[in-house]
Amino acid sequence: MITLAVDCMGGDHGPRVTLVACRQFLEQHPDACLLLVGLPESLKGLSHERATIVPATEVVAMDDAVEVALRKKKDSSMRVAIQQVKDGAAHVAVSAGNTGALMAIARYLLKTLDGIDRPAIATQMPNAQGGATTVLDLGANVDCSAEHLLQFAVMGSALVSALQPNSQASVGLLNIGEEAIKGSEVIKAAGQLLRAAGAAGDLNFYGNVEGNDIFKGTVDIVVCDGFVGNVALKASEGVASMIVGGLKQEFARNIFTKAAALVAYPVLKALMRRMDYRRYNGAALLGLRGLVFKSHGSADTLAFEQALIRAYDAARNNLLDRVRTRIAHAAPLLAPTDAPSTTDAAAATH
């Protein structure tokens, strides 16, 4: 059985979304059980033989400062959920709560793996190939060294190998051009490290890629710093929502469009489904000594269930062991850096 500890109080909607998603998830996954963490009186809406309530007395608000969540709310649903992973009661924790707080608490309780300086946030974005491109970091680290970007590439390769049957996932370094001479000094140094890692067999390095390559599906994994990654994520979600919303409005007000839509409906439905970012919800916090997944704070039932599924798949496919193995193999290149830490997960709102 795969056990998930779920912070049922987190996110914009709390139990009225998380509990429904948990019920739907349990119906589709008979080999999974859930630890429902939160205020007991708020969790009475779900009774299931494979769901157990784990009480917590506090809730981390979406606008709570990291220090408040970490030092003052020591019995929050978020912290108790992650504690289940640390104690071995759960394989993975899932929360839609405050990103900065989640990263800070997870890093404090679980610690980072040997060879990893900073955890990174990784998720998938739909691409034109009909699949998804894994992108990291998405906001946990605003400033990164070349060594950090190499660490992200190694961890991202482990994530894709765990979630997809593709052990040769290609890695691209996000840059302003494909040429190796382009980019900042950090990016050029990272390119050298990634090429060395590719030559050593630690990962399958494709080379530099540009922003549009994320959506073309040029590579399986795109590596960047957290500032750029978070901007790309929010932009992609905004564009997808605008296109899908625009199509729906046009169909509703134009009778000729309605007639055309009847003919093209199967294609349009497939397009809207592919662009629905809710189906790609669930970001992994990589580099920790335990599995933690972050759901979008505004997730509805469909989106939160997708985050549960992604976390379940990661645990079932031994993501943590895969990350450890890849890090150990790449250890000679993953030398700790003396660059000052500027982790700023609180700035991310994914």
Spatial separation of the C-alpha atoms in residues 276 and 218, rounded to whole Å? 20
CATH of 1-110, one of 1.10.1040.50, 3.40.50.10950, 3.40.50.720, 3.30.1330.60: 3.40.50.10950
pLDDT of res. 119: 92
Determine which helix (DSSP H) or strand (DSSP E) holds 123, and give its type and residue range.
strand 120-126
Helices 185-199, 146-163: inter-axial angle, 10-degree rounding? 50
Q: Where are the alpha helices (DSSP H) in 202-318?
A: 211-216, 226-253, 255-275, 301-316
CATH topology of domain 117-279+318-350: Isopropylmalate Dehydrogenase (3.40.718)
Record the tokens describing residue 42, joined without a space: 């708020």
Q: Are 320 and 93 in contact (CB under 8 A)?
A: no
Q: What is the pLDDT of residue 133?
A: 93
Token readout for 303 is 């989106």
Q: Residue 249: its pLDDT value, please? A: 66
Q: Which one, of 121, 171, 110, lies nearest residue 144 by Cα?
A: 121
- Per-position pLDDT tens, the chain of length 350: 999 999 999 999 999 999 999 999 999 999 999 999 999 999 998 999 999 999 999 999 999 999 999 999 999 999 999 999 999 999 999 999 999 999 999 999 999 999 898 899 999 888 888 888 999 999 888 889 999 999 999 999 999 988 876 668 999 999 999 888 889 999 999 999 999 999 998 899 999 999 999 989 999 999 999 999 988 888 876 666 666 566 566 656 665 566 665 666 565 556 556 556 778 899 999 999 999 999 999 999 999 999 999 999 999 999 999 899 888 888 887 765 444 443 444 444 44
Show me where the domains of the chain are located. 1-110, 117-279+318-350
* pTM > 0.75: yes
Confidence at residue 348, expressed as pLDDT on a 0 to 100 scale: 46
Q: In terms of DSSP bridges, do strands 120-126 and 283-286 run parallel, antiparallel, or are they unpaired? A: antiparallel
Residue for token digits 């040997």?
114
For 317, which DSSP code?
T
CA distance to 34, 36, 120, 206, per residue, from 22 (Å): 8, 9, 26, 39
pLDDT score, position 334: 74
Predicted local confidence at residue 267, as pLDDT: 59
Residue 344: per-residue pLDDT: 47
Question: Given the DSSP bridges, would you call strands 221-223 and 170-174 parallel, antiparallel or unpaired?
Answer: parallel
